[in-house]
Structure 1
Amino acid sequence: MRQKKTLIILILVFAGLLALYAGLRMYQKKQSAQKSSSDKLIIKDMSDLTSISYNNGQDLSFVKRNGTWFYEKDSEFPVEQSYLTSMASQFQKIEAVRKLKNGDSLEDYGLEHPAYTIRVKDKKGTQTTYYIGSASGDNYYLTLDDKSTVYTVSADLLSGLSYSLNDMMQTDTFPTLSSGNLKKVVVTSGSKVKTYTSKSKNDMDSIAGGLGVFTFGDCQNYSVKDKDLAKYGLDSESRVTVDITYKDTETKKSKSLTLYIGSKDKSGENYYVKLKDSKIVYLSDADIVKNILNP
């Protein structure tokens, strides 16, 4: 009986030690996390940004309205939101690698005439100007506002600044098509209508040769107006309409889209094309388009 009581006591003591050990581990982790957080050198911590402007060879300025970023000079420009979302996140809260003490002149850090000047504003109305100068190993020199203090920051901060406006354009995508997932294609040119279905393998194989390699080329107009469609041969009287029904390769669901094919450009090497529900006019290689028009 005495041995049984001793065993129970030992088990309880062991369980208590395990609980104590677990508690100490949690405390140490919490202290370590707090220390790591306090060790960070935060230069600026703003609320959600609503405005970003800078020059990278182009004067670029973007504003955020109702959760969406717009190009300030032309709100119809289709901005790919991920570029601005990422940039706003980077400049909203900047962490320095180190703070320079008793530093040299701004000129020695490339900050007398900085490589980048970035002006931001947050939803509270707070405005800040960042200046980025020369490289320092894997980092860059940065100062802000009155230029009284110089820091080094990670080169990652510059990652979004090199993109041109065209790089940040939200363009259309064309699905992956082949005779395997095409279900029906109807090509209408004036009064002529040609229908291709999966029931006629030879016909579907022939037009799939063009649709399977079709891509959008350079953008010619990112916000075309109805009155300007005729310039591209894309008005309702001139265009060729290609109605496509296909099975999506990822969802396996049936989908449809309509492609408009217009006239050739001046070089004769491309056709003007656009999707029915898009405002963007593109060029597309003439040889590929011919394989859709005359497979």
Structure 2
Amino acid sequence: MKGKKGITLIVGIVLLMLLVLSYLMLHSGNKDGEDTREEEVKTSSVAKLKEEDMASVSFGAKDNMLTFIQEDNTWYLEADKEFPVDQQAVSDLLSKLSDVQASRTIENPEDLEEYGLEDPQTSIIVTAADGEKTSFYIGDDNAVVSGCYMYLNDARDRVYLVDTEMKTSFLCGLYDLAEKASFPSITSSSITRYRIDKEDSQFAVNEDSNSKTGWTVTGWDGSKKPAASDAVSNTFTKLSSLSFNSYVNYKEDSLEQYGLANPTAVITADYTETVKDESSEESSEGSDTSGESQETAVDRQIVITVGNEDENGNYYVKTEGIQGIYTMSAEELNTLLDDDAASYLDTYVNKVSFADLSKLEVVRDQTVYTIVSKSVEKETSEGENTADEEDQETELKYYMNDQEIDSAEFLAFYEKVSGMESDSRLDRMPESALEPELTIKFYDKASGEETDVDYYAYDSNFYLTADNHDNYLLVNKMDIREMLEKLDNLLTDTQK
């Protein structure tokens, strides 16, 4: 008996749950205006408007409406006819009114408040050339079917469910419909000069054929030093990838508002742009030749003035030659603004290929060791034919003080010399520096320039290297020891 009562109780609970679920589904359906009659209603067109018939259109949130007027097939902002309207963007927006489709129609809704239409916060009002108005009043979203509720003109007794895009598209900002400029296209390899001016510092990077790296960096004090080519390349790649984020103001009479009257920094870059010669194109039109048009390298300059940072992590910027104020990513710009002249100085003590040297002098314990390389005829074994002198093979040999030395041992030593990198840099030579433990002199083959590097014991962790170009670098002591060990091996082997 108890078993039957238990079964009856379970069945009753299941039936109750089904009734509750059915009620909730019905209630939800009615709230969204989805009664049984609506399920049978297919998508229908509720309005069709042509852009060419429009004289004006107003749209947006209730307290922030935008109004555009059309004159001679051109759209203008009614409040400011000088505003740079993006004609295509406006046309694309208005095309959404060419055939407004409703997926559901709710006749005689009991309470417009349920649909956000008692006091609609979004509206679109189109005035035709003949004065006829068509008004769309848009209310709440229906997240279930990705739609929103709307009524047309004054017909509040009929509510339509239309695509959500009808609402979101017309809630755009003014500058979403502005004709925007693009940041100039600059290739990193075309930049010849780069400069940053900040309130507390300035520096410039210049292409320089006389520099061993091809570049020099000039600091705020006017001192010029070779710039590391990899650091220069890295910066130019960052510069060439810059882009505008958003258009803020087409007028330039409010620079102070954006921090551009007293800027955070000014970035200047000189570059070349390859353009097609228009005159050559015109002359080739009447000829039968199919040759390529001529191209000319034109010098260009870009100047970016960087202002305040906004609340979204962007800087306000003004670019010379481009109308208006834009924003740029602060994260990207800071990778440039955080640099100083020292960021471009070479971290290597003197990275130069021995093939570019006429000779190398090593001074150790007051003894000078002069090392040169010579290309000599390769020795042939007996029986080999050496009649053809043009086919005679040569080999590179190294000499120290006119005595041939082991090539492998010398190259092992020179690899340590040219590959030596510093950990940090000093601004000036310490007054307490002792006599150098080692001096290496590099003589450039092409220019004849001499670079002298002295190696001093500095502290328990570092050696100091100082050259005749005022570079003072701290080098790990272990790197120096490895270099000296290779040098000692070379000298010992030579003296045998």
TM category, shorter: 0.5 to 0.7
Q: Alpha carbons of 1:89 and 1:270: their partners in 2 closer, same or farther (altered >3 Å)?
A: closer
Number of the residue aligned with 1:244: 271
CA RMSD, Structure 1 to Structure 2 (Å): 4.5
List per-residue Cα deviations over 1:59-107 (Å, max 9, x = no partner): 2222334444333323344444454223211124312223333443433
Aligned to 1:163: 172
Of 46, 51, 73, which residue of structure 1 is paired with 2:49?
46
Query: Which residue does the alignment assign to 1:224?
Result: 252
Matching of residues 164-243 of structure 1 within 5 Å: 164-175=173-184, 177-179=186-188, 182-186=189-193, 196=207, 200=214, 202=229, 205=233, 207-216=235-244, 221-224=249-252, 232=260, 241-243=268-270
Contact 1:115 1:134 in 2 (8 A): no
Larger deviation: 136-145 or 75-84?
75-84
CA deviation map 1:212-264 (0-9, x unaligned): 34344665642225999xx8359xxx97653433579xxxx978754223475
Alignment of 1:98-117 (within 5 A): 98-117=104-123
SS of match in other structure, 1:277: coil
Counterpart code for 2:239:
L
Identical amino acids, percent of aligned pairs: 24
TM-score by length of 1: 0.61
- 1:143 matched to 2:151: yes
Deviations 1:2-43 (A, max 9, x none): xxxxxxxxxxxxxxxxxxxxxxxxxxxxxxxxxxxxx86222
Q: Which runs of 5+ in 1 are unaligned?
A: 1-38
CA contact (8 A) 1:187 1:293 kept: no
- Residues 21-100 of structure 1 correspond to what in structure 2 (within 5 A)? 41-48=44-51, 49-56=54-61, 58-100=64-106
Q: How many residues get paired?
A: 246
The verdict on how the C-alpha distance between 1:293 and 1:86 changes in structure 2, with shifts beyond 3 A counting, is farther
- Structure 1 position 118 matched with structure 2 position 134: no
Q: Measured at CA, do residues 258 and 188 of structure 1 come closer, stay the same or move farther in structure 2, by a change above 3 Å?
A: same
Paired residue secondary structure (2:70): strand
Query: CA contact under 8 A between 2:108 and 2:158: conserved in structure 1?
Result: no
Alignment match, 1:275: 319
Structure with bigger RCO (C-alpha 8 Å, 6+ apart): 1
Q: Is the Cα–Cα contact under 8 Å of residues 262 and 271 in structure 1 kept in the other structure? A: no
1:58 touches 1:164 (CA, 8 Å); kept in 2?
no
Distance 1:108 1:74, change over 3 A: same
Matches of 2:110 and 2:255 in 1, distance apart?
60
Check the 8 A contact 2:185/2:240 in 1, yes or no: yes
Q: Distance in 1 between matches of 2:193 and 2:78?
A: 41
Letter in 1 for 2:271: I
Do structure 1's residue 259 and structure 2's residue 302 form an aligned pair? yes
Q: 1:219/1:135 Cα in 2 relative to 1: closer, same or farther (>3 Å)?
A: closer
User: Is the CA contact (8 Å cut-off) linking 1:52 and 1:118 kept in structure 2?
Assistant: yes
Q: Give the letter aligned to residue 99 of structure 1.
A: T
**SS state at 1:279 partner:** coil
Give how far 1:208 is off: 0.8
The answer to whether the Cα contact below 8 Å between 2:55 and 2:71 also exists between their aligned partners in 1 is: yes
